Structure formats: structure tokens, C-alpha cells
Amino acid sequence: MNSALSGVILISGLWGAGKTTLGLSLTDPKDVVMWDLDQKSEVRAKELAAEYHALTDLSVDPTEPNVEAVIKWLREQTAALTRGKKVLLIDNGSPLEDAFHSVVEKNPKKWRLNPAHVASGSFGGSNPGVSKIWRNLIGYTQNLGFQCIVITMHMSELWAGGAPVGKYKVKGNKVLTELANLSLVLMKSDKPNTAPRALVGKEALGMVTYQEGAFKSSMALPPVIPICTWPNIEHYIDIMPTRTKFTPEELPTRADLERYGQWLSDDQRALVMAVAKNPHFSMTEEETTALVKEREFTSWDEVRDAAVTELGLTIEQARTAIRPFYEKKVSFEEAWKGLQ
């Protein structure tokens, strides 16, 4: 495993995009501990000799949320982790996050949150507490010596006015993206038996070289990885410091941006904008740094509509979440940051 890939890797995508396959193939499977919360990969993981643990012993009542069972299972698995393995694969993180929300909602004060805000969903609701739990879990596993924590998350289609809008949102607390060194959204290839394409949502792999008495930083990956496998990713890490152009296959299509554009980090969005503005764009140019702009709004209705289409809230939920910001008379942009 390339040392540049150490840290947290977030892999997202629709069902069947190849998230689990990519996560399991990062390094020698014998160095992987897999937490399978989807309970679907036992045969594959054991054939590869990965250390496998599935979320089991849930309530037989399908109408029960099973929160206590999930938390109990997590505590047992965390306590059983030992040194010596390189990669922890959490596949997928959504059941854990649902349980984290329940934990915070039961005792908001423990997480230094206002119970009224948690109950109403305003000022982030239970999300700040969930962020702390994710940080605690990731920090603990890293302290045990795990070089990389790979977390897969599903995507959900956004709806507005009672109908899907053809845009997708990565499920999960935004702290996962903040902590990630690399976040990818996988898109199925049109070709059979071919690895998926990957849109790079965030890349912070720290490509720094020392040349002629000065440090030089460079991106490690293009905006799109045409065939997303770890050998291809490592190849890009090796060659990107010497490249100045992207191929057409390494750039997102208009459809990619319409579906997943809101998920890009500010830096990735700025890069894509720079290329779109200048067909002769070179990675040696400095114009990308000037292109990161804050989202701008002109009314509370625009903030509400963005919360519906981009954050997946209902209109009523959006109104409730926005109300505290409106009453405090903050700017539209500050309110949008708070909602996220």
C-alpha cells in the first residue's frame, strides 16, 4: 500500500458501484479487518483471508431500529481490535451513523448540545455530537496502528416537490469528508467486467517534493479516475507531479457535475471550473486558487430550496432548520454553512 494513501478514505456510490470490492483490494487482505454492516460479503472476505466481522445478533423484530444492538456490537468490535493490521474497512457506515444519532439524541448534554436544538434539528441538530463520535472512533483505531480507515457510504437521490431531481447526496456526517485524505464517488462503467470510474471529491494526499532548494506541492490525482483501481491510483500518484494536462477521460462530464457536483470539495470544484473556463488549462497555472467562492444567496427562499434539493430535507424540515438563523438575523451564507 502506497504510504500516500494512509489516513481516512471515503468511498461512496450507488448500490453495486463497486465500493466493497475497492475497499477490500487496498492492500493484502490478510492485513485488513472488515466490519460488514451490510452483512453481504462474508464469503468474499473469507476467501481473501481478510479478518471478517459482520453485524449480527439484531432483534428478530423487523420494526425495531436495533440501535442498542448496533452500539453493543460496535463496542465489542472496537475492544477486540489489536495491533498488527493495516486497514480497517467499515462497510457501510450508515448503520453506525444512525446509531450515533440515537446515542446523541438520548443524552444531548453529554455531547454539550442544547436538547431543544437536537430535538428540532436546528443548528445542526445531533450532527455535532455524531461528528465527535466519528472522530473518537477514527482516532482510537489510528492510535492502535491502523494505517488506513476505509469507510464506504451509500448515496441517496435528492427529491423536491415530491419527485426525484436527478442529483445525489453522499450519506453520512460531513466530518467524514473533513477527515478524509481521499474521497471518491464510484460510477459504474459502461463496459462489462471493467472497474468503475471515480469522481474525486476531495484529494489531500500531500504530494510535496523538494526541488532546486524549494518545496513544491502538486495534486496527486486528476478530477476523474477513468478506471478506478488502486494500482491505477498509485500510478497517478507517481506521475502527477510531472504532468501539466488532463486527458478528456480524466475530466467530469456535464452529467457527472449535475448529479454529484454539490459533493465536490471547494478545491475540486475550483479545479473543474478552471478547466471549463480555459480549454488550454495547465496545472502549472495559478488561477485555480482564485476560483474558490462561497455559495451566494439573495433570499431565504433560495436557502430553503437549496436545503431541500442539496441536503435532502423536506420543505417543512428546511423551514424549521432555517428559522433560528432567520431570527438571529445572520447572513444567508452563514445560515447555509450552519445547515450543512
> In this structure, are strands 182-187 and 197-203 parallel, antiparallel, or unpaired?
antiparallel
Task: Kindly state whether residues 314 and 280 are assigned to the same domain.
Answer: no
Task: Kindly state whether residues 334 and 263 are assigned to the same domain.
Answer: no
- Would you say how long the chain is, in residues? 340
| Residue 76: Cβ within 10 Å count | 11
* CATH number, position 11: 3.40.50.300
Task: Kindly state whether residues 212 and 239 are assigned to the same domain.
Answer: yes
Please name the residue that has the C-alpha cell 481521499.
Answer: 182
3 state SS of 67? helix
Averaged pLDDT for residues 263-291:
63
3 state SS of 118? helix
Task: Kindly state whether residues 281 and 326 are assigned to the same domain.
Answer: no
Task: Kindly state whether residues 240 and 332 are assigned to the same domain.
Answer: no
Residue 92 belongs to some domain of the structure: yes
Task: Kindly state whether residues 103 and 237 are assigned to the same domain.
Answer: yes
Residues with Cβ within 8 Å of 184's Cβ and at least 6 positions away in sequence, in order, are 9, 10, 11, 12, 13, 22, 198, 199, 200, 201, 225, 228
- Identify the domain containing residue 116 by its residue range: 3-290
Task: Kindly state whether residues 311 and 224 are assigned to the same domain.
Answer: no
Averaged pLDDT for residues 163-167:
77
Residue 202 belongs to some domain of the structure: yes
Task: Kindly state whether residues 146 and 234 are assigned to the same domain.
Answer: yes
Residue 295 belongs to some domain of the structure: no
Please state, in angstroms and as integers, the Cα–Cα distance from residue 198 to each residue in 13, 209, 230, following that order: 9, 26, 11
Q: How many domains does the chain have?
A: 2
| Cβ contacts of 71-80, under 8 Å, gap ≥ 24 | 71/99, 71/103, 74/99, 74/137, 77/35, 77/53, 78/137, 78/140, 78/141
Looking at residue 289, its pLDDT comes to 41
pLDDT > 60? residue 295: no
pLDDT > 90? residue 35: yes
Task: Kindly state whether residues 34 and 74 are assigned to the same domain.
Answer: yes
Which is more confident, 314 or 43? 43
Per-range mean pLDDT, top range of 184-193, 221-230, 244-253: 221-230
Final residue before a domain boundary, out of 290, 312, 330 = 290
Which is more confident, 292 or 171? 171
* Extended beta strands in 191-303, E state: 197-203, 207-211, 214-218, 224-225
pLDDT > 50? residue 226: yes
Looking at residue 317, its pLDDT comes to 80
Task: Kindly state whether residues 240 and 107 are assigned to the same domain.
Answer: yes
Task: Kindly state whether residues 139 and 228 are assigned to the same domain.
Answer: yes
Task: Kindly state whether residues 307 and 286 are assigned to the same domain.
Answer: no
